[in-house]
Amino acid sequence: MSGATAEEVMAVTASRLLADHKVVFAGVGMPLLASALASRRQAPNLTIVLEGGIIGTRLLPGHLPISTNEMRAAYGAQMLTDITDIFLFAQRGYFDYGFLGAAQVDQYGNINTSVIGTVEHPRVRLPGSGGANDIISLCNEIFIVTQHEPRRFVPRVDFITSPGYLSGGDSRERAGLLFGRIGAVITDLALMDFEPGTRRMRLRGLQPGVTVAQVQDQTGFELVVADEVDELAPPSAAELSIYRTLRDGPPAVPPAAVVPA
């Protein structure tokens, strides 16, 4: 189906990574939409968890939350607990997937949402970690979703808010981060993972019509390219329809379809 936006392409690609009978810790915005899409497609028993203390949210289409700590995020939930408790579930190992966005991500999957420039002399003070540091440290497999731009994909983040593979190799484990792996980075151009051993970001799949050269051109560091790079399937009409209904609410009935009384 043509006409998919960059956001829709990313969300659909991300949603396909989520398997049934798993638990996903989703951030608000696209990660939540991608999770909700998966739960209405291949993963009807996917449990969506949000940091506000919300377990098993369903969401009301067209009334999506702006924050993970509000009533809209809790619509249809199975359990409401508190924030600390939700992260302790993650620390215990219950959460199969953690879903994050990123203002800045580097070749080892480290994320910066704290400061552009230095802490001493910040050019831009960003909001901060929120739950991102905990999600990337405590969930079993992490997916990072962000738009593919050179300013976002930098060789080294200005500040490690949320640790990926730190400086590569076994540096994550050596820092005391015993659990969790960065499974994939999903963008509007590509799907990437991390090369075993070096833990450098590796190109694995291309969005339809995108070339390896285009992806490299939009990446501020040299990507490892896997031996086989797949072309990802475009969003289907069904996926886009569900996604748009979730985001915008059910489509209005076209006037022609209204049967006169």
Partner 1 sequence: MRDGVTFREARAYLEGADRPVTDKRMTAAGAMSLVHDGDHIAVGGTLYSRTPMALLFELLRQRRRQLTLSRPLACYETELFLATGGADRIVSSWVGIGLQWGLAPIFRHYVETGAAEYEEWSHLAMGLRYKAGAMGVPFLPGLSMLGSDIARMTGLKTVTCPYTGERLAALPALLPDVALVHAHRADMFGNAQVDGYRHMDVDMARAARTVVVSAERVVTPEEIRAQPWATMLPHFAVDAVVEAPHGAYPHECYGLYEADVDHFDAYVRSIQEHGVDAARRYVEQHVDAHADFSSFLDSVGGGRLAACAAGAERLMAR
Nearer to partner 1, 177 or 225 (CB): 177
Minimum gap (Å) between residue 25 Cβ and partner 1:
11
For the question of residue 51 being annotated catalytic, the response is: yes
CB 144 within 8 A of CB 132: no
Nearer to partner 1, 52 or 205 (CB): 52
- H or E segment and range at residue 145: strand 141-145
Nearer to partner 1, 132 or 184 (CB): 132
Minimum gap (Å) between residue 252 Cβ and partner 1:
18
Minimum gap (Å) between residue 14 Cβ and partner 1:
17
For tokens 């009384």, the residue is 261
Could you tell me the CA-to-CA distances from 3 to 8, 35, 190, 236 in Å, in that order?
10, 22, 18, 11
Site for partner 1, rule CB under 8 A: 28-29, 51-54, 60, 63, 66-67, 69-72, 74-76, 80-84, 87-88, 90-91, 114, 119, 122-134, 137-138, 159-163, 166, 171-172, 175-179
Active-site residue, selected from the candidate residues 51, 70, 149, 222: 51
Minimum gap (Å) between residue 226 Cβ and partner 1:
26
- In angstroms, the CA 81 to CA 54 distance is 6
- In angstroms, the CA 193 to CA 110 distance is 13
Other C-beta atoms lying within 10 Å of the C-beta of residue 224: 16
Nearer to partner 1, 128 or 150 (CB): 128
CB 98 within 8 A of CB 139: yes
Active site residues: 51
